[in-house]
Amino acid sequence: MRAIQIASLDGPQAAKLVEVDEPDGDGAVVIEVHAAGVAFPDVLQSRGLYQYKPEMPYTPGGEVAGVVRSAPDGAHVKAGDRVAALTMLCGAMAEVVALPAERVFKLPDNVSFEAGAGLLFNDLTMHHALRTRGRLAEGETVLVHGAAGGIGTSTLRLAPAWGASRVIAVVSTEEKGAVATAAGATDVVPVDGFKDEVKGLTEGRGVDIVVDPVGGDRFTDSLRSLAPGGRLLVVGFTGGEIPTVKVNRLLLNNVDAVGVGWGAWTFTHPNYLAEQWAELEPLLASGKVSAPQPQVFPFERAADAIAALEDRSAKGKVVVAVR
């Protein structure tokens, strides 16, 4: 089969299309992959900078959508089913993958393979962030950094379905503002001066939740943008710097800085993925939550797809079309 492989830690351009053996499907669900999702950990892994370091050479990508070729007896999916699935940290950008049944989810008919390959990683993270960790309540306001990225557009699509009355997008360019608006932002503000813009939009009160996949020097202004009782959800550090926080700020304004580590939670909570999907799937199937509208790269250009996240040019979720 054809697969993308990375054989040296020189960044996204090390990703090459090669021929490899198909995986051994014994006891697993074997999936013919139509599309694979790209996420920021693929960038970090390609330079050896991620906490998980796969054995070399490795195939990048944490999620796929495709059709089941075969499944073990008793599995909840069968040959011919359209599915989305999690390879989790690598292995997705290949024509065939073999995965344990608990990481495979039936795709609603109204969700394309390309959208399906771009939803599990971020939507399940944001379910964990907004519902389990962030305690989003009806009528609350949410601000999201990196709003035109994968985590950002997922936040914009999902937060209203779980009660948010207003979702404010922080972006670096006007073009990204348009992506955020298409994903459901009620307001778009530029990175520079976002704190004052947010104070103005909320009549001085601030927001109830900040979703932060960026980190760096905007962290303190994010804390200052919270209303009393607000929560700052620490999701990632695409900006490169891991911020530090003076905890007196938490005390003074009665706010929380909340860690969000979805992958780690799934390893300690065995049925969590199934519970999350049971909440998410009906929202997608009914159209209450729109599917992602990904930027799609051909299989041969997987390196450029990963590079688009590194050079900050990606618009929305990025997906690679595999067949």
Ligand X SMILES: NC(=O)c1ccc[n+]([C@@H]2O[C@H](COP(=O)([O-])OP(=O)(O)OC[C@H]3O[C@@H](n4cnc5c(N)ncnc54)[C@H](OP(=O)(O)O)[C@@H]3O)[C@@H](O)[C@H]2O)c1
Binding site for ligand X (CB under 6 A): 39-41, 121, 125, 146, 148-152, 171-172, 176, 191, 213-214, 235-240, 260-263, 309, 312, 314
Q: How far is the CB of 262 from ligand X (least distance, A)?
A: 3
Backbone angles phi, psi at 253, to 5 degrees: -110, 10
Tell me how far, at minimum, the Cβ of 64 lies from ligand X, in Å: 16
| Nearest distance in Å: CB 137, ligand X | 21
Nearer to ligand X, 20 or 178 (CB): 178
Q: How many residues does the chain have?
A: 323
Q: What's the distance, Cα to Cα, between the start and end of the chain in Å? A: 11
Could you tell me which residues come within 8 angstroms of residue 82 by beta carbon, excluding any fewer than 6 positions away? 65, 66, 67, 106, 107, 109, 113, 116
Between 82 and 133, CB nearer to ligand X: 133
3-state secondary structure of 237: coil
Nearer to ligand X, 30 or 189 (CB): 189
Question: Which of 68/319 has CB closer to ligand X?
Answer: 319
**What DSSP character marks residue 176?**
H
Query: Nearest distance from residue 42's CB to ligand X, in Å?
Result: 8
Shortest distance (Å) from residue 4 CB to ligand X = 17
Cα separation, 161 vs 165, whole angstroms: 9
Distance of CA 74 to the CA centre of its chain: 30
- Tell me the residue nearest to ligand X as measured from the CB: 149
For residues 28 and 305, which CB has a smaller minimum distance to ligand X in the complex? 305
Residue with tokens 């937060």: 159
